[in-house]
Structures are given as structure tokens and as C-alpha cells.
Chain A
Amino acid sequence: MTLNLTINGVRVEAEEGESLLDVARRNGFEIPSLCHHEAVAAYGACRLCLVEVTKGGRKKLTTSCNYEVLGGIEVVTESAAIRRHRAMVLELILAEAPESATVKALAAEYGVTRSRFAASGAGEDRDGCILCGLCARVCAEVVGANALTFRKRGDNRQMGTPFVEEPQTCIACGACAWVCPTSCVGFDEQNGERKVHRWKRSLPLAKTEKGHAFAPQFQLFHFRKLAKLEADFYKKAPGER
């Protein structure tokens, strides 16, 4: 069913079940976000996508990534109050990831260049992580490896691997490093080995018939199984076929 709503006074259409963030962006309205990715379910962790929604005469601030659109709502994506809230959120996030270029640039757009807060310092490996949960969602929902999880809660919450050890189900695909908004996972390929730094995972790369290092054996095995490919499918790299 098609729904009608207004965003910043402009009438737009949406399909039932769509998120407000998706609808707004599709129509050209900019909303910042750090924990959202189209490939995985919304989670509402970063609080940056705050907008104002008026429904039945009542106004409220809400995150748009996990807000399902309704017919008749009026949405405002920019206002002094919204900017103030986002600036506060960014100041908190900047405290956790002061080195991140993405976070710094976004914060600067909201006039935040330094944070009055100290990093929570919850533990050895909270470095640069803003607990957005994207890595774990991608690893579970897209890769299917389920190698990552939040542990503990409140101040002590951390993202990591079970028992804080090299995760046995990790295929070193690098998807987590790719989606991490603060680039704090770290990932490289050297001497026939692929390493995912933050999770302390390293796997040897499989070689093709022609001797080219290609991808971690474990990852190829995983893909072969998912796509039901022949056992020797990866003896040739895509460019060698």
C-alpha cells in the first residue's frame, strides 16, 4: 500500500514497511548516520539519524533508521533543536573515536571540533569503537559467520569475539572492516596471509593453479558451500577463467 507523508513540507510517497531514513534519502533529504547499512537490519545505536515526527498533532524526536513510515506523518529533518541533539551525540561519539576521519568530518559539520568527554575506557579493546554493532550484524546477517558479538553491558559494553579470542568461525572476509564507520577493525594481506587485526584473526590465502594468492581458504570453502560450487571452482581466479 502506498502511503503519503510530508518531509520538510514536501509531499512524498512511501511503501508500507519502509524506514523513514530510506524514504527521506530516496527523496534527496540528507540525514547523517553511522550505524546504518542497507545490507543489514536497522539497529538504532548511533542516534545520529534523529528527526522530528509529528503524528496526530504530537511532535517527537525519533531515530529514523528504525522508524517505519506511517501515512499522514509530518517529518522535519533539520531544525535548530535537531542540530543541537546531533551535535551532542557527535560530541559523545567523538570522545570514543577521536582519530576517525569520518567522525571528525561529521562532527565538524555540526560545529563540534573537540569533545568535553573522556573516552569511556571500558576496556583494552574499546579503542576507536563506537559500539554501532555494524560489524557483528554484517558478519551474522550477510556473511553468516556469526563471529562477533557485544559482550557485557552499560559502561562495560564491548564489541568483540567470544572469549576475546581468535574467532574460529571467522573466514577473514573483511566485511566487518569494510563497514566499520570508524575504520577501527583493520585488515591487510601480506605474505600469503590475510589478517583482521581487531579480532586477531589470520588465515593463509589459497593459491590458484597459476600460483596467485587469492582469498583465505576458509572463505572460499564458505562461498563454495553457500553457492553450491564445484570443489575446484576456485583453482582459477575470476581473471584467469
Chain B
Amino acid sequence: MELSRVDAIIERNGSRGASLLAILQDVQDEANYLPREALEHVSKRLELPLARVYAMATFFQAFHLEPRGKYVCTVCMGTACHVRGAARLVEQLERDLEVKSGGTTKDLQFTVEEVNCVGACALGPLVIINGEYHGTMTADRLTKTVEGLKKAEGGTR
């Protein structure tokens, strides 16, 4: 991420400690994660200790310190989804994408993660891909969906 982009975000939110959370949110929106250089730059510009910026960046689940994939596949692990085989869906994704749950593929295309419950139990088992809900998912259909996305990206993988 260009530091000039971080500067623009700081300008927009105000260069003060109270804006830290809003600034980090905007950085993550743009870069998809919180790059280290950006955190260091924010610390310098706001004259806040890096320790404080880092503390906030690691406190909230919504922030990520590692790059995330273009497609974020979130498997709901709530009770209803769980009893309908959500764990198998996670395994399927891990196999298809060759990445551990919580991780991102090397080509930065896919992130696999679990969430405890999104409250759409009637649709379980549920996989959310970039905010789009795919209900009553099966392992086969999940593989096909992922294949489809890979193809749409030019079959690079």
C-alpha cells in the first residue's frame, strides 16, 4: 500500500489519536488487511507509540495483519450448521485450495475462515463468499463453486 494513500486516509479522518480506529478501518477497507508499513506510518503521523497502534490492530477480530484473499470463504460453524456437516465443508475447502482454515492461498486469491454463527441457521450449512450467502451447501457444490471462481480468474491455478 502506498503511504500517500495512508496519508489521504489520515487527512480525511483527522490526524489525532481519537481517529485511530476509523483510520485503521479505512486502511483495511482499501488494502484488505493492515500492512505493517501502514501501521508504522500511522504511528508516526499521529505521534502515537507503535505499541498502541499495534494493540488496537490486534484487539479487534475485524482487523487482519496478514494479507487476505480476493475471495474470502467463511464457513459458519454455529450449532445448526455444525450438525449438518460444516466441519466437512471446511475440510473440503482446505483440500481444494491447499490452505489451512484461517489461512490465505499463496496467490492471494482465497482465504478460508470459520465464524461461530451468522444467525442464518435455517440456511445451514452455510458458506459466505465475499458477503454472498450460499445456503444448504454440500461438499460437491462447494468444490464446483470454487472451481467456478478459479475459472473466472483465468484459470491461473
Q: List chain A positions with a Cβ less than 8 A from chain B.
A: 136, 140, 146-153, 161-163, 167, 169
Task: With A152-B59, A153-B59, A163-B36 as known contacts, state yes or no: A146 contacts B54, CB within 8 Å.
Answer: no
Cβ-based interface call for B130 (8 A)? no
Chain B residues whose C-beta falls within 8 Å of the C-beta of A147 in the assembled complex: 51
Chain A residues whose C-beta falls within 8 Å of the C-beta of B59 in the assembled complex: 151-153
Cβ-based interface call for B52 (8 A)? yes
Closest Cβ–Cβ distance, residue A165 to chain B (whole Å): 10
Closest Cβ–Cβ distance, residue B37 to chain A (whole Å): 12
CA of A153 to CA of B61, assembled, Å: 9
CA of A148 to CA of B52, assembled, Å: 9
CA of A161 to CA of B52, assembled, Å: 10
Interface pair B49/A169, CB less than 8 Å apart: yes
Closest Cβ–Cβ distance, residue B39 to chain A (whole Å): 8
CA of A147 to CA of B43, assembled, Å: 13
CA of A122 to CA of B106, assembled, Å: 27
- Scoring B residues 37 to 55 as 1 if CB is less than 8 Å from chain A, else 0, what string do you get? 0000000000001111111
Chain B residues whose C-beta falls within 8 Å of the C-beta of A152 in the assembled complex: 58-59
Chain B residues whose C-beta falls within 8 Å of the C-beta of A169 in the assembled complex: 49-51
Interface pair A146/B36, CB less than 8 Å apart: no
Closest Cβ–Cβ distance, residue B113 to chain A (whole Å): 15
Most chain A CB inside 10 Å of its own CB: which residue of B49, B51, B55, B59: B51
Q: How many A-B residue pairs have CB under 8 A?
A: 32
Give 23 CB contacts A-B under 8 Å.
Answer: A136-B51, A140-B51, A146-B49, A146-B50, A146-B51, A146-B52, A147-B51, A148-B51, A149-B51, A149-B52, A149-B55, A150-B55, A151-B58, A151-B59, A152-B58, A152-B59, A153-B59, A162-B50, A162-B53, A163-B36, A169-B49, A169-B50, A169-B51
CA of A152 to CA of B55, assembled, Å: 7
Closest Cβ–Cβ distance, residue A198 to chain B (whole Å): 15
Closest Cβ–Cβ distance, residue B102 to chain A (whole Å): 12
CA of A169 to CA of B43, assembled, Å: 13
CA of A44 to CA of B95, assembled, Å: 46
Q: Which partner residue on chain B sits nearest A164 by CB separation?
A: B54
CA of A109 to CA of B49, assembled, Å: 40
Can you name 4 extra interface pairs (CB under 8 A) apart from A152-B59, A162-B51? A148-B51, A149-B54, A151-B54, A162-B53
Q: Which partner residue on chain A sits nearest B58 by CB separation?
A: A151
Task: With A152-B59, A153-B59 as known contacts, state yes or no: A163 contacts B54, CB within 8 Å.
Answer: yes
CA of A149 to CA of B52, assembled, Å: 7
Q: Which 4 residue pairs across A and B have the least CB separation, nearest first?
A: A146-B49, A149-B51, A162-B54, A151-B58
Interface residues of B in 82-133 (CB under 8 A from A): none
Closest Cβ–Cβ distance, residue B53 to chain A (whole Å): 8
Q: Which partner residue on chain B sits nearest A136 by CB separation?
A: B51
CA of A161 to CA of B55, assembled, Å: 9
Chain A residues whose C-beta falls within 8 Å of the C-beta of B49 in the assembled complex: 140, 146, 169
Closest Cβ–Cβ distance, residue A98 to chain B (whole Å): 27
Closest Cβ–Cβ distance, residue A166 to chain B (whole Å): 13
Closest Cβ–Cβ distance, residue A34 to chain B (whole Å): 21
CA of A162 to CA of B54, assembled, Å: 6
Chain B residues whose C-beta falls within 8 Å of the C-beta of A136 in the assembled complex: 51
